Chain A
Amino acid sequence: MSLDDQPPGGPSAGADDAPVPAGAASSRAPLRRLRLRVLRYNPREPQVPARFETYELDEADNMTLFLALEEVRDRLDASLAYDFVCRAGICGSCAMLVNGRPRLACRTLTGGLPAEITLAPLPVFELVQDLSVDTGKWMRALGERLHAWLHAQHVEPDLDAIEERMDPDVAEKLYELDRCIECGCCVAACGTAQMRVDFVGGVGLNKIARFHLDPRDTRTDADYYELIGDDDGVFGCLGLMACHDLCPKELPLRTQIAFLRRRMVRAGLSGK
């Protein structure tokens, strides 16, 4: 039975039998011969200069860049370095420049790209090799610098007692900001981050906004001003919003940065 033969129309709720809705699982775009141009360099082999290597392979249905690169490693070049962990857009490991734009490679379908695809490692972060960069080290340093953890009143809460209440709407809003996966796309896209090594980027500002919103956190605006009230923080931001546009989790970075800027201007003024 071909899926395309199914009658269109949605199933009715609760029905034990329902017509199969139209639309098969796989895309029906024509498949192409792909050319992957990959920027390669191993800092531990400085005698071999950075270069582009091109790999050709056949596109498949629903092929992601993860599947394409795995095929390169399986069939064409087992030495190519890259980082995939979850391969499901959850862990933030696989950000790279895809035709110049920072993206999660595992979540990028080749079908949406031209047949020639250029891949390069994210800028700003330390290069490990080829497409692999050390975002983890950068993010840990950021967390340490921004004290990016919940500063609760009780570090050792009474674990037998009923938990403290939280407004369900607040919990939802918090999760909205908590969804950052530290992938680094916002940092790689940010003009300020490319110029200032210590700039905290969209990811850093979002973290502060997240704890600022959390009713359990005891810090005040003055405390946050200490952390981000300078040119490495919210005042270094040029507001062009490349971070907002490129965040694969679609975090509301625009509103959060604008909000923090207002709060920090006020905190700065009242501090004087």
Chain B
Amino acid sequence: MKVVHTDVLVIGGGLAGLRVAIGARRRGLDATVLSLVPPKRSHSAAAQGGMQASLGNVFKGRGDDENAHFEDTVRGSDWGADQRVVRMFVHTAPKAVRELAAWGVPWSRVRAGDRQVVINGQPVTLAEHAAAHGLISQRDFGGTRHWRTCYVSDGTGHAMLYAVGDQAIAAAVPVHERKEALQLIHDGTRCHGAIVRDLKTGELCAYVARATVVATGGAGRLYQVTTNAMICEGGGIALALDTGVAPVGNMEAVQFHPTGIFPAGILVTEGCRGDGGLLRDARGHRFMPDYEPEKKELASRDVVSRRMEQHIRAGHGVQSRFGTHLWLDITLLGRAHIEKNLREVKEICESFLGIDAAQQWIPVRPAQHYTMGGIRTDHTGHSVGLRGLFAAGEAACWDLHGFNRLGGNSVAETVVAGMLVGEYVADWCERSAAWADVPMRLVRDALAAETAALAEACNRGTGESARQLRLELQQTMTAHVGIFRDGTHLEQAVETLESLARRSRTICLGRTAPGPNPELVDAYRVPRMIRLALAVAHGALARTESRGAHFREDHPQRDDARWLKRTLATWPDAWSNRPHLAYETLDVNAMELPPGWRGYGARNHLDHPDAAARAAEVARLRERHADDPAARQDALMPFADLLPPRLRGPNHRVEAEEETPVVAR
């Protein structure tokens, strides 16, 4: 039996995983990273638009601060987020951007003086302040009150991942590439590592660790049309589900991005609309102001995606031989702007559509984009069901995003969660018992079970094709668990998925060659994807309300009275074809921002019975501590003590600096 020992096993080499590993390493622990692909090829590299942090350097970002970022994020989440986590996040985000600047990210910078931008379809001149010259620049993104999204042209995720990846090399963090975690080693209460398959040799081995961190990204490939990479199949989230004890949260909260290019689903960034691009219909009409007079193209993603689908249903879509779509028009931004700031978009249009985006409109339609749900953790990233298991990044339900995440908040989450969870994991390792306790029998049994499961698939003579099952899975999810949902279709989806689950028990292989064997890979991944899809569909069917990205046509109202709670799915019985659902209630009386209208989208929700009283209480506390922000925060919702001491300091901003009287020396 081959066993690798490490203090911290990080499953996932994207932004979140690498940052956790660097953090643990800096605390003197051994950290080993596993990744399906070379870490710099992780899906984080695909983030184009940017990273939210309230630096407030640009003219249109002036006045921004943690409070504004906090409120935007909570409203965006449709009150599903954990507000303490949101506070920790918005406080740490500016530090994360600055750390990345020191690690080499070539953030786009403010240039003092006048510049031309397009706002609401009109050219506007902005005067950038001399005091901000050379500081990190921000752009506009949906659902934010100020321009807050820091960016590197339109290759933000790439630049971030390369800088963090380079620092991981500098810190000598070993990354075991082309390795796939198949099963967590655990005894029902404590996680001890994972059983891992080598994707080059096909060999299985055990990684035994004091703490195991899942940072495996999202599960976009549950859907047929998605902006996500081929490897975003949710395998890491399924690892937790398969323990039977570690719950996954809010899997029904799935985000659709308004502008996937049609029909391939490749993303063109929200920066297109942030920079002034417009959505148009078959007649060339700009339709978003008809639905959302306030925020127009820049309402939050769930709202824009729904409005687009609604407009298509009303018969205004463009017909093409592959189906129906709408147009994204960035021609009005001008070639110079597009070639400099939206180059990746231009390249994508040329390479995949054969069109010139500076002259032609881009065919778009909403596509699956982001998995808000994931392994449910507390604010330290620790699983609420299995000790020693942590999660960070898109694979986690830390719960920063609730039922809808804002653009730019996700890459920000990966590095912020990486910074924080890296510290908490180290704290936990220092406190928890060491190696000797790992029962080797447990490790042997887990390895034997996985070996047997793979052998069984290889030896089955006849049966189902994994690729066929995957196709049916993706079609079902897209047709019935998509942007618009209702009870009838969800029931149909559950029924189909359950039959897929049954069929997946008899997947067979055409060839059983040693080595990578892509057929075998499909054979063990697809059943996991089906279980995860069942968690999504069951969660969506049970939630008889609409919140954020989860929209039920038969229950169009957000229902705070009954549904201000988080779905927790577990899979206690491996032979069953359905998950067990439980719920975690959100405490209105602990909220800094009690639930209300988001400020965009339909004004249509049922209040929680305590909401009005809590709102009055919050107003009273705000008034009482009007002059003392620190005391106010403590009275409303304390959070500073939850942060690692090193990250508690106040964030300085250029504006505040200007106002500070200069003390003579």
Contact = CB atoms under 8 A, between A and B. Distances in A.
Nearest to B650: A160
Contact of B46 (A1, A73, A91, A107): A91
B41 A91 contact: yes
B354 A62 contact: yes
Contact of A174 (B106, B136, B262, B653): B106
A163 B359 contact: no
Interface string B344-375: 10011001111100011111000000000000
Given A1-B282, A24-B320, A163-B136, A136 B37 contact: yes
A17 B286 contact: yes
Interface string B496-532: 0000000000000011011111110010000000000
Contact of A19 (B42, B284, B322): B284
Interface in A135-164: 135-137, 139-140, 143-144, 147-150, 152, 154-155, 157, 159-164
Contacts of A15: 121, 286
A44 B201 contact: yes
Contacts of A20: 280, 282-284, 318, 327, 361
Contacts of B300: none
A21 B360 contact: yes
B266 interface: yes
A30 interface: no
B355 A25 contact: yes
A169 B518 CA distance: 46
B353 A25 contact: yes
A272 to B, nearest CB: 31
A144 B354 contact: no
B652 to A, nearest CB: 5
B474 to A, nearest CB: 12
A109 interface: yes
B639 to A, nearest CB: 17
Interface in A170-208: 171-172, 174-175, 178-179, 181-182
A157 B647 CA distance: 12
A179 B158 contact: yes
B515 A129 contact: yes
A128 B200 contact: yes
Contacts of A89: 347-348, 351
Interface residues of A, number: 85
A171 B108 contact: yes
B107 A160 contact: no
B657 A162 contact: yes
A162 B230 contact: no
A129 B516 contact: yes
A250 B152 CA distance: 18
Contacts of B95: 159-160
Contact of B110 (A161, A168, A174): A168
A252 interface: no
B159 interface: yes
Given A85-B37, A87-B230, A159-B99, A214 B331 contact: no
Contacts of A26: 320-322, 353-354
Interface residues of B, number: 109
Contact of B513 (A45, A87, A90): A45
A10 interface: yes
Contact of B108 (A91, A159, A163, A168): A168
A143 B651 contact: no
Nearest to B282: A1
A229 B177 CA distance: 30
A42 to B, nearest CB: 5
A3 interface: yes
Contact of A78 (B134, B169, B283, B522): B522
Interface string B329-350: 1011000000010001001100
Given A10-B359, A90-B158, A166 B109 contact: yes
Contact of B652 (A24, A135, A162, A179): A162
B649 interface: yes
A181 B286 contact: no
Nearest to B201: A44
Nearest to A174: B106
Nearest to B97: A163
A201 to B, nearest CB: 16
Given A89-B347, A214-B104, A136 B38 contact: yes
Most buried by A among B42, B55, B106, B109: B106
Given A17-B283, A78-B518, A165-B134, A175 B155 contact: yes
B331 A160 contact: no
A206 B640 CA distance: 43
Nearest to A60: B322
Contacts of A24: 320
B331 A21 contact: yes
Contacts of B360: 21-23
Given A20-B327, A79-B510, A160-B649, A109 B169 contact: no
Contacts of A214: 104, 106
Contacts of A154: 102
Nearest to A84: B230
B478 interface: no
Nearest to A211: B104
B15 interface: no
B134 to A, nearest CB: 3
Contact of B107 (A64, A91, A159, A171): A171
Contacts of B293: none
A14 interface: yes
A154 B465 CA distance: 55
11 contacts: A10-B359, A44-B513, A74-B471, A78-B511, A90-B45, A136-B177, A157-B102, A162-B652, A163-B55, A164-B101, A168-B134
Given A25-B363, A136-B38, 7 more contacts: A73-B518, A91-B229, A134-B200, A159-B649, A163-B97, A166-B134, A172-B153
| Closest 7 pairs between A and B when the two form their complex, measured CB to CB | A136-B38, A165-B134, A150-B104, A149-B166, A159-B95, A174-B106, A44-B515
